Amino acid sequence: EAQVTQNPRYLITVTGKKLTVTCSQNMNHEYMSWYRQDPGLGLRQIYYSMNVEVTDKGDVPEGYKVSRKEKRNFPLILESPSPNQTSLYFCASSSITNGGTGELFFGEGSRLTVL
Partner 1 sequence: RKEVEQDPGPFNVPEGATVAFNCTYSNSASQSFFWYRQDCRKEPKLLMSVYSSGNEDGRFTAQLNRASQYISLLIRDSKLSDSATYLCVVSASPRFNAGNNRKLIWGLGTSLAVNP
Q: Which is nearer to partner 1, 24 or 94 (CB)?
A: 94
58-97 positions binding partner 1, by CB under 8 A: 58, 88, 90, 94-96
Q: Which of 23, 24, 31, 64 contacts partner 1 by CB under 8 A? A: 31
Q: Which is nearer to partner 1, 47 or 114 (CB)?
A: 47
Q: Which of 2, 14, 56, 70 contacts partner 1 by CB under 8 A? A: 56
Of 103, 114, 115, nearest to 33 by C-alpha is 103
**Of 17-25, 34-42, 60-68, 79-87: span binding partner 1 (CB under 8 A):** 34-42
Q: Which is nearer to partner 1, 28 or 51 (CB)?
A: 51
Strand partners, 10: 111
- The angle subtended at Cα 35 by Cα 94 and Cα 20, nearest 5°, is 100
Q: Which of 75, 76, 107, 112 contacts partner 1 by CB under 8 A? A: 107
Beta carbons within 10 angstroms of residue 29's beta carbon: 23
43 binds partner 1 (CB under 8 A): yes
Q: How far is CA 77 from the centre of its chain?
A: 9
Strand partners, 49: 32, 55
Max CA separation in the chain (angstroms): 44
